[in-house]
Structure 1
């Protein structure tokens, strides 16, 4: 568990550097950071069923979704759809989105001396790509435990994330790293680079006075940006899912690029978009909920801790 403890320590360090400004020290994370993690947890919980469907489709590209769902039901029953792998998925998605959405604006300010909203497409892509590196290092053990639990037909781990990680070697924690890095980087770049233009388009189409229909506009533009990211990251995520399933479950050595070539050769390029419908709904929904919930949570946090914590 040494690697897991190290990653937890990294997360705590991340939280410590996202505290309020030095001029107003606090033992609590800033409203900006807290609101992001609150929104991330709510989003992860609400979208778990969609993520499960996406995961099933991607670990078996080319297999019909009804068959995948039927097989999963036979193995885990109806409650499996809301419980099997729930803990690692909610943990993974909360950390993933929390780090991404909290660190991205800070890195943009640090690298380019301006707010992300004032950046160019190039600066947003660079900041998003840089953000994905610590994000991936933190979520890798959770990615591994998620795969192990959603394929644990023999109930070896008793649906316990802790037991799955305890019985996994430190080396295996990084299984599929290339694919996860590709997935997180491409989605972040696509989302943050496109949400501004999508919001401007929605504003023009919907019209109305400034401040009107904010919730609808945030949901719509966030969903569109999330789907944009999904278009970019689905091929790599499909390959990543197969690589992790083979290495962790089937115990067959596999790596990213050979598996990609194999899938394309045997099932065609289109199979790289296995489960895209569920993935687009999942990531689009995630982008929409984060765009809607984060400002709302930020307002609550600022009211609770005072405007002095505002960054």
Structure 2
């Protein structure tokens, strides 16, 4: 409640406060996130006690066993190395938990700052969408996602080798990180509008018709039937379905804005041409965000009926967080509408 009130009073209307105050507010906000996440009891979070037990087991496991097995105690080699290294410094799970909390929140903070100017809106969705609290439970996967955000930023800046290295490290933290390769593919086709349209249509059609495809798969490969959930579970998703619909609509609008022909004059000066080039770079970044968000929605829709499929969608959740801020930057220009939009987002997510 205190965090919500603090955001409501100090962060939500970021346009009305100075840049220095924004930085201080953001620092306090993420500092609080680190403290709450890092100092929580092992009874907070479904898997926290489980990870605590694994940590102490790994701390007593010889290095040669950890380094010669892809998984030890059901954890990938990268996470095991991190636990073992942490235990070598200070043999306490709380120290390791605080380390992960600090790294996770720092990497997410850097991703937000590099990809949107709507810091307050992003902070609200970071809490409201459940991304922050998910890190309390599925810690390994969320930490691998944080590493992937850094890999994405490196890739955008042209540092392909570092991006590839970070991508591989993320996979050693949690294997599901391999699905992030889709983001790299989206980046490779960023200048091909026809391919972008094909991908967009494919995602939409698959999302709408996945039950038909699922029935065909089960018919010819019956072993996959055990991964299907009972249909009654669809009702447990409630209002979140409407959030998915909004995410899909905003994503499609972003892509439409990119594909829609721009009116460029042939006799514009060099300075304006540079502005156009920078604008195109921003637009392509938003297209990648939008396609990733559509994959997120698709995975969660399929996850209604297919066990664990939503875990693939979680990989793309950072793009969902920045999507609303990018939409505001692109479509909402007047301050009054920005404040109204921010207030609606705040109410919707809390």
TM-score bracket for this pair, using the shorter chain length:
under 0.3
Q: TM-score, normalised by structure 2?
A: 0.24
Higher normalized contact order (CA 8 Å, seq sep 6+, divided by chain length): 1
Q: TM-score, normalised by structure 1?
A: 0.27
